[in-house]
Amino acid sequence: MNTMILRVKKCGVMTTVQCERQRVGGGTPGMKSENGVLDKRTLVLQMLGGKYEDSFVVTALGSLATIEWTEGELVACSMSFRTREHNGQVYMDVIANEIQKIKHS
């Protein structure tokens, strides 16, 4: 798990997805589905520094997905990086374990 201070570059719309498992995210606390339904939102978070810094496409699940993030907002994000294989292809998922707004004046 990595925790970084990042800037919200883009906030997608929240969707509801069907989930077969009671606990998703490999047992991540707070990621239980209710009746097989789970809230999901995709965010683009960018490292601090400049316009061309690296970005992450991060999936927020459960209660984190219900929060509307503002573009340009600073956040502290704890992320997990997971890989999976499907039909001979390897895919990487970046899952937000915790996101907190950073208040700055």
pLDDT tens digits, 4-15: 999 999 999 998
Question: In the chain, helix, strand, coil percent, each to 5?
Answer: 5, 60, 35
Using alpha carbons only, how large is the chain's radius of gyration in Å? 14
CATH for 23: 2.40.50.140
**What pLDDT score does 2 carry?**
75
Using a 10 angstrom Cβ sphere, with 0-12 exposed, 13-18 middle and 19 or more buried, the burial of residue 28 is middle
Residue 10 lies in domain: 2-101
**What pLDDT score does 20 carry?**
66
Residues of the chain with pLDDT under 70: 1, 20-34, 105
Q: What one-character-per-residue DSSP string does 38-67 give? A: EEEEEEEEEESSSTT--EEEEEEEGGGGGS
**What pLDDT score does 21 carry?**
56
**What pLDDT score does 46 carry?**
96
Domain count, the chain: 1
**What pLDDT score does 37 carry?**
85
The pTM score is 0.80
